Structure 1
Amino acid sequence: MANRTGTYFAFDGLGETDPTKSDFRYYATVQGWNAAEHIDFKFVNSHEKAGAVRDTSKLSTLQASIRQRLDGSKNMVVIISGDTRKSGSLLSWEIEMAVDNYKLPLIVAYTGYNSILNPAALSGQWPTSLENRINSGAAQAIHIPFKKDAMFDAVRRFTVNGEEIGGSLKYYSREAQVGWGYIS
């Protein structure tokens, strides 16, 4: 196993070559948080630890690169939007690999929500591979709104060598979310 210091970000590319028309835009937001000097949000990006692969690369080449990135990752952020597909995207395979082969804790970040207090109510948005692993208990997952403070805290805490999540449907307490200003 590689030095597991990275955070792997997974999202549905929605079959688009234009990143502004896919969930890549949320990943770009996280990259912006990481790059901004005035924001205390820093992480090791697993996507920068392996060679770049274009979307036009052969599937086998892309999957080999993803395996290398997952092998060096301490956790995985799964970005879920209203457009995320149930199946048919590389995201499903990435989730399967992360949970089944690399035992990565999942940070499931939902776009368009101010707070998450009942992750089971969002199950209709989960890709089937995520749903199966949550329902079977195979996935260790914390569910958060796609917001900087929650993401920073989860990325820092829940790692292969860090704090255990302790279940598939975990979320931050109401008090924590009030503290971040997500709930008034």
Structure 2
Amino acid sequence: MINRTGNYVAFYVDEPFYEGNLGAYAAYDFCYYQMIKTWKATDSDFHFVNSHDKTYNVRDGSSWEYTLKPRLHDRLLRSKNIILILSSHTKYSRALREEIDYGVNTCGLPVIVIYPDFSKNTDIVDSRGDFLPQITNLWNKLPIFRDSMDEVATVHIPFQKQLLKKVLSDPKFTVQHMGDGQYIFSV
């Protein structure tokens, strides 16, 4: 039986990725992934287990079909959920499409969507709980996510440490105890 304790963070970086000249560290979405890792390093109550650390790293000179794609699959199989960083800078890429398609449609992983461009829940939904156009427009950047998110529990939050901490502590956002539907969390 596979140990599914990780949180798989999906985010956009340019393809092909080059390590020189800051590489991913210059990418907008990647910086938010790094912030999540920093929160974990400085807060022992922040329950984040990085699935990217569960297998060895690969470089972009590697074959997509024989190395990169299987590595993504292996990491997703060892995960209990996906944390998707979705911003105005996110673009539809082969890797991001594969992460969401395989993670949601094959592994059945719930998705925690973080919107770094927004700071509060009222930036995401209106007073009736309907998603705002600025959010649904972001979904259109990732059609595989837009078309698949109703298959698993999905929570939508602004990029806030306390909100993410609360969601990561909630078992209904793990593949082992997944609830149904769409959720909006408040602190």
Q: TM-score, normalised by structure 2?
A: 0.82
Once residues 42 and 106 of structure 1 are traced to their aligned partners in structure 2, the CA distance between those partners, rounded to angstroms, is 16
Q: 2:147 aligns with which of 109, 132, 140?
A: 132
Between the aligned residues of both structures, percent identity stands at: 33
Paired residue for 2:41?
A: 35
Equivalent residues in 2 for 1:92-107, closer than 5 Å: 92-107=97-112
- What residue in structure 2 maps to residue 2 of structure 1? 2
Q: Report how many aligned residue pairs link the two structures.
A: 168
Residue of 47, 50, 53 corresponding to 1:48: 53
- What 5-or-longer segments of structure 1 have no aligned partner? none
Supply the AA of the counterpart residue of 1:160.
V
Question: C-alpha separation between the residues in 2 aligned to 1:115 and 1:20?
Answer: 25
Displacement, 1:52?
Answer: 1.2
Aligned partners of 1:20 and 1:51: how far apart in 2? 19
Please tell me whether the aligned partners of residues 11 and 84 of structure 2 are also in contact (alpha carbons under 8 angstroms).
yes
Q: For 1:39-74, what per-residue CA distance to the aligned partner results, in whole angstroms no more than 9, with x for missing partners? A: 631321111111211233211211111111111100
1:11 and 2:24 matched: no
Counterpart AA for 1:100: N
Aligned to 2:118, which of 93, 113, 124? 113
Task: Find the partner of 1:123 among 136, 139, 142.
Answer: 136
| Change beyond 3 A, Cα 1:143–1:97 | same
What letter matches 1:2 in structure 2?
I
Which consecutive unaligned segments of at least 5 residues does structure 2 have?
none
Change (3 A) 1:98 1:163: closer
Q: 1:111-135: per-residue Cα shift (whole Å, max 9, x none)?
A: 021123427320111211111113x
Q: Is contact 2:110-2:178 (8 Å) kept?
A: no
Stretches of 4+ aligned residues off by more than 4 angstroms: none
**TM-score calculated relative to the size of structure 1:** 0.84
Cα 1:152–1:55 change in 2 (3 A) is farther
Query: 1:2 is paired with a residue of what secondary structure?
Result: coil
Distance 1:74 1:139, change over 3 A: same
- 3-state SS, counterpart of residue 133 of structure 1: helix
Separation (CA, whole Å) in 2 of partners of 1:110 and 1:66:
22
Q: What is the CA RMSD across the aligned residues, in angstroms?
A: 1.7
Say if 2:150 is the partner of 1:144: no
Q: Which amino acid aligns with 1:142?
A: V
Cα distance in 2 for partners of 1:160, 1:120 equals 24
